[in-house]
């Protein structure tokens, strides 16, 4: 298990490499490591949330490079572990009706045209139809407001992934 003691004592380079498979924002990983030791999991998660919510736009975009589009079958360019994790998180999309999958593909294109980045949403446990509804609602945001929404979604995803790594035997 990647328990609290191991998290606090792991070599910085090894831990950084592991963290970057969760969220590919170097400033987040570096700051999370620099603030060690942590007294408990809640403090790690709260610190992670704070750091993600303060990422600058460049670091948000770096983090998004580690995420496939919602509903995308191929995860080209992603580390195998990251691709598998994203596939599990987006399981609801793979079971969606063709019309919903096609709507998501069109929505992804419209989102990227409007905001210049992929549509990111914490998909774990959400129905495909709901993910599509959220996408349509977010298309109405102004770019600054949407960047804040993206940070919030990235914080949720990072929290779930970090919790999984710290609660799963062997940290997988």
The reported pLDDT for the residue numbered 89 is 62
Maximum CA extent, the chain: 49
**Tokens 């195998």 -> residue:** 80
Secondary structure of 5-22 in HEC code, one letter for each residue: HHHHHCCHHHHHHHHHCC
Domains and CATH numbers, the chain: 4-171 (1.10.3330.10)
Q: Render each residue's pLDDT in the chain as its tens digit; 172 residues.
A: 578 999 999 999 999 999 999 999 999 999 999 999 999 999 999 999 999 999 999 999 999 988 888 887 655 555 566 556 655 666 667 778 999 999 999 999 999 999 999 999 998 888 999 999 999 999 999 999 999 999 999 999 999 999 999 985 544 4
DSSP H helical segments within the chain, as ranges?
4-9, 12-20, 26-34, 41-53, 57-64, 80-89, 91-94, 98-115, 128-138, 143-167
């Amino acid at each position: 298990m990647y328990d609290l003691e191991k998290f606090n004592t792991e070599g910085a380079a090894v831990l950084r490499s592991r963290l970057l498979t969760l969220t590919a924002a170097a400033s987040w990983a570096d700051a999370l490591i620099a603030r060690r030791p942590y007294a408990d999991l809640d403090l790690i998660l709260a610190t992670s949330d704070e750091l993600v919510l303060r990422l600058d736009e460049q670091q948000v975009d770096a983090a998004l490079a580690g995420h496939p589009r919602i509903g995308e079958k191929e995860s080209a360019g992603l580390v195998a572990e990251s691709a598998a994790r994203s596939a599990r998180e987006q399981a609801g999309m793979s079971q969606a009706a063709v019309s919903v999958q096609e709507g998501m593909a069109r929505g992804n294109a419209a989102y990227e045209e409007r905001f210049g980045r992929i549509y990111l949403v914490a998909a774990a446990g959400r129905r495909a139809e709901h993910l599509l509804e959220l996408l349509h609602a977010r298309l109405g945001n102004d770019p600054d407001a949407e960047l804040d929404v993206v940070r919030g979604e990235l914080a949720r995803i990072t929290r779930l992934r970090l919790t999984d790594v710290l609660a799963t035997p062997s940290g997988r």
